[in-house]
Amino acid sequence: MCFVSNWFYTAMITKFFFKRLSLPAQAKFMKKRGISLGSRWKNGRYIYMYMFRNIFAEILFVDDNTENDPESVTVISGIDEFNKRLEDEIRPPKS
């Protein structure tokens, strides 16, 4: 029980500080410490996906090149929310 509690608080603290980093610092952190999950094509742009512990991030880079500065970072909390987001984009709209 103690292990789960400690892990939960560590994850919450990590997420808290990560969200307060600047945009370039978030992208640099994910590229250096996170795991690249791949990229996907949306609206003519590549979105690069990263994971660190239970934090997921979708990052858009200038000219779709990971060596350039980031344009935006979308932080997603948890695998369930990340999967839901991907599934919602794959499914056709309900009529």
pLDDT at 1: 46
Mean pLDDT by 10 residues, the chain (95 residues): 56 79 94 94 94 92 95 91 87 70
pLDDT score, position 17: 85
Q: Residue 80, SS3?
A: helix
Structural domain boundaries of the chain? 2-90
Query: Could you tell me which of 93, 94, 30 has the C-alpha nearest to residue 61?
Result: 30
**What is the CATH topology of the domain spanning 2-90?**
Viral Envelope Glycoprotein; domain 2 (3.30.67)
**DSSP output for 12-78:** HHHHHHHHTS-HHHHHHHHHHHSEEEEEEEETTEEEEEEEETTEEEEEEEGGG-TTS-EEEEEEEES
